[in-house]
Amino acid sequence: MNEFFLVYFGVFILGLLLGSYLNSWMWRVHEGKWILGGRSVCIHCNRQLNWYENVPLVSFVWLRGICRTCHESIPMDYFLVELCTAFLLVWLVYYHGTGAPTEYWYFLRDVFFVALLIVTFVYDAKYSLVLSGVISAGAVVGLWFNIVKFGFTWESLSLGMAIGGGFFLLQYLVSRGRWVGGGDIRIGLMMGAWLGWPQILVALFFSYIIGATVAIPLLIFKRKNFKSEIPFGTFLAVGTFISLFWGTQILSGYIKMIGW
């Protein structure tokens, strides 16, 4: 029991560090200040942070969410990203240790996929932008994992990419870019490269269900209108996560329900 606790605690700490890095990386990319190995700075006054101001979770609580120098608020999402990344990494270790595929490459693939989904979710939610270069690279890496290491068929992945990318490309052409953007098309291609056929259908289904669940109340309470932009990449990230880990079971359950 103590050994399991130590393992999960160590993984939780690694998850906090990964979340802290992702926060810093996303901010630097958005501000055009990304430098590999650069020290963390305050996002408001650009003062270089001391080590004790940069401890994941702890520093945020100790500083009460305020910079010591300029007294500007530190966004709460920094705290949440660190915490959620840590919990997701712990969950991945648990998932791969209790009946899921335990091969080393599966775990590495899922850590990579989850980290990229976090970036997609947060960056689009905060900045209403999709990092197209990162998404394209994610699709290539996903193809490599699935073809070289896990034996996915070209037919499955090609059909998944055609459906994922084509679905959003059709909307883009019909609406002349008003409904979706080019970033959504790239995310759709990446989803297909990761999931293949028919799991891509599960991801799209849940993405739209979750998107509608969030968007409809915003419209009802007039927080958004029909011309407002809603960062759909966040919902695609959640739908992809659901399909990645439970897509096969969901499809099997659906097939049994309809009696095929």
Query: Average pLDDT over the chain, rounded to whole?
Result: 88
Q: Are residues 94 and 108 in the same domain?
A: no
Question: What confidence tier does 153 reach under pLDDT thresholds 50, 70, 90?
Answer: very high
Q: Nearest 5°: phi and psi at 231?
A: -65, 90
Residue where a domain terminates, one of 76, 100, 124: 100
Provide the pLDDT for residue 122: 96
Q: Output the DSSP codes for 35-101.
A: -TTPPPB-TTT-PBPPGGG-STTHHHHHTTTB-TTT-PBPPHHHHHHHHHHHHHHHHHHHHHTTTS-
How far is it, in rounded angstroms, from Cα 244 to Cα 200? 9
Residue 35 has a pLDDT of 58
* Domain end residue (candidates: 57, 75, 100): 100
Question: 63 and 23 in one domain?
Answer: yes
Residue 124 confidence (pLDDT): 93
**CB-CB contact of 115 with 21 (8 Å):** no
Closest CA to 113 of 251, 248, 250, 240: 240
Whole-number Å distance between alpha carbons of 239 and 111: 17
79 and 136 both lie in a single domain:
no
* Whether residue 174 sits in one domain with residue 85: no
How many domains is the chain partitioned into structurally? 2
The answer on 88 and 67 residing in a single domain is yes
Sign of CA dihedral 70, 71, 73, 74: positive
Do 143 and 69 share a structural domain?
no
**What's the pLDDT band for 117 if we cut at 50, 70, 90?**
very high
Note the pLDDT tens digit of each residue in 36-82: 556 778 788 877 887 777 888 998 888 888 888 888 888 899 999 99
Q: Phi and psi dihedrals of 100, rounded to 5?
A: -75, 170
Same domain, 181 and 81: no
Of residues 260 and 84, more confidence is placed in 84
Residue type, 113: F
DSSP letters, 198-256, are: THHHHHHHHHHHHHHHHHHHHHHTTSS-TTS---HHHHHHHHHHHHHHHHHHHHHHHHH
Count the residues in the chain: 260
Burial of 146 (0-12, 13-18, 19+ CB in 10 A): buried
Domain that holds residue 172: 103-260
pLDDT digits (tens, 9 = 90+) for 74-112: 889 999 999 999 999 999 999 988 655 567 888 999 999
Q: Distances in Å between the alpha carbon of 209 and those of 25, 67, 80, 164, 259? A: 30, 39, 24, 16, 24
pLDDT tens for 191-245 read: 999 999 999 999 999 999 998 898 788 777 666 655 556 788 899 999 999 999 9
Query: Are residues 231 and 133 located together in one domain of the fold?
Result: yes
Indicate if 163 and 200 belong to the same structural domain. yes
Helices (H) and strands (E) in the chain, counts: 9, 0
Distance CA 215, CA 236 (A): 14
One domain for residues 115 and 80: no
Statement to judge: residues 123 and 50 lie in one domain: no
Q: Of 100, 123, 142, at which residue does a domain stop?
A: 100
Token pair belonging to 158: 């090609």
How far, in Å, CA of 82 to CA of 216, rounded?
A: 29
Asked if 137 and 96 touch (Cβ cutoff 8 Å), the reply is: no
Same domain, 122 and 163: yes
